[in-house]
Structure 1
Amino acid sequence: MACGLLSRRVASSLRPCLGLTATGYRQVSQTAANIVEEAEFDGPCMKTEVPGPISRSLSKQLEKVQNVIQVNFFCDYEESRGNYLVDVDGNRMLDVYTQIASIPIGYNHPALTKVMADPSNLGTFVNRPALGMLPPGKFPEKLFDGLMSVAPKGFSRVQTMACGSCANENAYKSIFIWYRNKQRGTSQPTPEEERTSVINQVPGCPDLTLLSFMGGFHGRTLGCLATTHTKAIQKLDVPSFDWPIAPYPKLKYPLDQFERENAQEEARCLEEVEDLIEKWGKKGRPVAGIVIEPIQAEGGDNHASFDFFRKLRGIAKKHGSAFLVDEVQTGGGSTGKFWAHQHWGLDDPADMVSFSKKMLTGGYFYKDDFQADKPFRIFNTWLGDHTKNMFLTEVIKVIRTENLLEEVKKSGKVMLQGLYDLQAKYPHLLSRARGIGTFCAVDVRDEATRNDLILKARNKGVVLGGCGNQSIRFRPALVFKERHAHLFLDIFNDAIAELK
């Protein structure tokens, strides 16, 4: 395939963002008067195997000071554009993984480069503020224009953090503080509680628990690891809390063809959840909260029905447990709705919703009852990064003006149907194709074959990622169009055809 450009889109400072015009130009709202050009490539262009010689040389340099076991290859981000990631050896690849689902509108989008180029933003980038104590004057404005403009239904508060793990870690703390205040009937601790808290003893450090699910992933920090139940390598040798773990439904796909069997499996798991809450309460270790992903991502792209989540929410309310929905990977539009839990159709879907990745900043939305009642209870030096709030404001504008959630539905339909066709064509290799929007996955025969397929696809110009024991997950940017889905499927088919 020729290493050329499919089209050139020009962002004009004199016109509002109106999406694609008849002439093929993308007009992006901007504050600076200079013209920014965005070039879209016509497809992958491979010059070497990946990693190439330059990447391998850089790995040797880096391994002198850091662990490089998990490094795939080194990237040239200046040359990357849109849906295409370029490596340091000049290989251009269609990125269907996007930094583990973290690039919302592609590489080097002009709306974001203009934020960097605007001189009025210089002070924000040069001086990183401690947002909890000394926020900049534009901080409230950017929160209302950005995060709060896409807040899930029923939420009027948000706490920014640096990443998904940090978001969940502090959401857990908020749940425990809320639960203890509810237990004691006041937010004022006793002198004994204050004294014992600093020596890690009860009652100051109460024996509360969080209920999580097998296959769930909520982060790699110490508290989050207690609710992460995927790969042993993530937890091995690290002390952890003894908290209840519920089974997650093991469903058959396609979901609409196995409704009766799947409903029985979900009923079994819900019954176990309620049983665990009651058992742990009787042991004097009450379940203060439940944490769950709308789709278990790292654990294998495991789905449950919307009815399962509606009933789980009801169980949490019944037993007085907080309900935290972890949308770190599912949030930001990949399922065709801005938040995956919106598919559930609930008026009161959660008490907290955590986010990161496509949202560029970490954090969590929360209800008024979970507001910290004293300073420094939920706190760290940065509490996120204000520059990411600025970027997110522009990302949300692009999503709306270019109608990207509808594009996600269209390209996701092509992708999922293509995966159905491929598993029918290669039934000895692929199975259990599944997804909502472009948040899709397929199982491969075994882990070794899965890993081999990912490498073959990469050397043909497509970046993919694995999850669970034998799944490949697809996480394109929101600017991934139907043509990109067709291109991906063609290359993926070629890679599969080479497997034995």
Structure 2
Amino acid sequence: MLAADTQSALLGVYKPAGPSFVAGEGCWLTGDDGRRYLDLTSGIAVNALGYGDPNVAAAIRGALDAGILHTSNLFRTAPAGELAAWLAAHSFADRVFFCNSGAEANEGAIKFARRWAGDRDEIIAFRGGFHGRTMGALALTDRPAYQEPFRPLMPGVHFAEVGDVDGVKALLQTGRVAAVIIEPIQAEGGVRLVAPGFLQALRALCTEHGALLMLDEVQTGLGRTGTLWAHEAAGITPDVMTLAKPLAGGLPMGAVLVTEAVAAALKPGDHGSTFGGGTLVASAALATCRKIGAEPFMAEVRRKSELLADLLGALALRRPGIRQVRGAGLMWGIEMDDAAGIVGRALEAGLLLCTAGPDVVRLLPPLVIGDDELRQGIAILEGAMEC
């Protein structure tokens, strides 16, 4: 085990639990205590391909062997261009901006919206939403406890209720709104699905009132919900979409995808990111996207999604303390009391879970998880509920 003083230099903004992990393979992590742990968190939806994926590893080795890990955006490199082309070809987008995280992607989206909108500078966000902890993204995040210590925040943000079409319409009618931002599933907000009809209504309202529709798919994008992008279920296309977590196979990377109309409003110098789209992360991301984007892979995700839904439905029937089970694809929330306690007891039993608020246990297994591993994970979870 690591000595306590080896962790003392880290800023105390996290509360890490359990062992220090020293190795990983597939859906399993090995701790410095010698135990193996089944991971149903994917590093909070990051490790979509699990640990040690050969395609991602080969891409990283190739970048290392080339000896160019970074050049900055003063110069061109092939991996970033190829990745941008792949994302554009597999989405609504015409142009792509690369950065380093989901929060940074949302910061970029805010700037792009304001640049595009001219003198309109307001943004509509939603109750229960989460868009990051940097200052602009925090202003869009409905978490008073997160916001209060850091006020004043970026002005011009209005919060609406998910499902309240009339409320959004009234805000848009002021003529001051540049953009509306929403997650197709409010992940950190309790794994709450936004109804397709509401997303369709937002698309129509944004078009009518000349505002951008921005979708935060930082956690839902790249196959997590059973389609490449979660908004596909609503049959809509946004003007801007932000990505991050699973994009580079475990390496830090974010992206902002935009239409040509948005891109045309931006000129050199309007935005930047020193490390954005670097050779190493772009190479890993291209391998990740190509693997997840293959239809046989996505078909397997959908099949396993049905199995997980059935397992959770049966669990809810056996456990009356479960108030609701909700989710899509391989992203689920179980609403019940003592979510943190259940997560802690599951850890002791060798299962990694996370919460989404005080009363939701969140499941985010790697997209490569096997059927038996899903069954094993749910069995351990049920055992943790019995204590």
Q: Same fold (TM over 0.5)?
A: yes
Code of the aligned partner of 1:220: R
Q: Does 1:110 align with 2:54?
A: yes
Provide the rounded CA distance (Å) in 2 between the counterparts of 1:235 and 1:105: 37
Provide the rounded CA distance (Å) in 2 between the counterparts of 1:473 and 1:64: 30
Task: Quote the residue 1:148 is aligned against.
Answer: 88
Give yes or no for contact 2:79–2:283 (8 Å, CA) kept in 1: no
Task: Quote the residue 2:141 is aligned against.
Answer: 228
Quick one: structure 1 residues 492 and 220, their matched pair in 2 at CA, closer, same or farther if it must change by over 3 Å?
A: same
Give the aligned length. Answer: 382
How far did residue 113 of structure 1 move? 1.9
Q: Which has the higher contact order (CA 8 A, sep 6+)?
A: 2
Q: Secondary structure at the match of 1:403?
A: helix
Q: Of 239, 246, 249, which residue of structure 2 is paired with 1:351?
A: 239
How far did residue 383 of structure 1 move? 2.5
Task: Quote the residue 2:310 is aligned against.
Answer: 417
Provide the rounded CA distance (Å) in 2 between the counterparts of 1:239 and 1:384: 32
Q: Does 1:399 align with 2:295?
A: no
Quick one: structure 1 residues 460 and 234, their matched pair in 2 at CA, closer, same or farther if it must change by over 3 Å?
A: farther
After superposition, what is the alpha-carbon deviation per residue over 1:281-312, rounded to whole angstroms, capped at 9, x for unaligned?
4xxxx111100000001111111211110011
Q: Does 1:481 align with 2:370?
A: yes
Provide the rounded CA distance (Å) in 2 between the counterparts of 1:212 and 1:333: 24
Matches within 5 A, 1:21-36: none
Q: Of 35, 38, 50, which residue of structure 2 is paired with 1:94?
A: 38
How far did residue 328 of structure 1 move? 0.3
Quick one: structure 1 residues 97 and 276, their matched pair in 2 at CA, closer, same or farther if it must change by over 3 Å?
A: same
* Larger Rg computed on CA atoms: 1
Give yes or no for contact 1:415–1:438 (8 Å, CA) kept in 2: yes
Provide the rounded CA distance (Å) in 2 between the counterparts of 1:66 and 1:246: 32
How far did residue 137 of structure 1 move? 4.5
Q: Does 1:61 align with 2:6?
A: yes
Q: Of 185, 204, 214, which residue of structure 2 is paired with 1:314?
A: 204
Give yes or no for contact 1:211–1:290 (8 Å, CA) kept in 2: yes
Q: Does 1:298 align with 2:188?
A: yes
Give yes or no for contact 1:214–1:245 (8 Å, CA) kept in 2: no
How far did residue 460 of structure 1 move? 0.8
Q: Of 161, 170, 192, which residue of structure 2 is paired with 1:275?
A: 170
Quick one: structure 1 residues 277 and 392, their matched pair in 2 at CA, closer, same or farther if it must change by over 3 Å?
A: same
Provide the rounded CA distance (Å) in 2 between the counterparts of 1:321 and 1:495: 47
Q: Does 1:162 align with 2:100?
A: yes
Q: Secondary structure at the match of 2:256?
A: strand
Matches within 5 A, 1:202-241: 208-230=121-143, 232-233=145-146, 235-241=148-154
Task: Quote the residue 2:21 is aligned against.
Answer: 76
Identity %: 26
Provide the rounded CA distance (Å) in 2 between the counterparts of 1:120 and 1:481: 31
How far did residue 90 of structure 1 move? 1.8
Quick one: structure 1 residues 340 and 462, their matched pair in 2 at CA, closer, same or farther if it must change by over 3 Å?
A: same
Provide the rounded CA distance (Å) in 2 between the counterparts of 1:320 and 1:434: 34
Instruction: Could you tell me which runs of 5 or more consecutive residues in structure 2 were left unpaired when the two chains were aligned.
Output: none
Provide the rounded CA distance (Å) in 2 between the counterparts of 1:119 and 1:237: 40
Code of the aligned partner of 1:313: R
Q: Of 309, 318, 326, which residue of structure 2 is paired with 1:434?
A: 326
Task: Quote the residue 1:245 is aligned against.
Answer: 158
Q: Secondary structure at the match of 2:67?
A: helix
How far did residue 271 of structure 1 move? 0.9
After superposition, what is the alpha-carbon deviation per residue over 1:240-275, rounded to whole angstroms, capped at 9, x for unaligned?
1343433434xxxxxxxxxxxxxxxx3xx1111112
Provide the rounded CA distance (Å) in 2 between the counterparts of 1:240 and 1:119: 40
Task: Quote the residue 1:37 is aligned against.
Answer: none
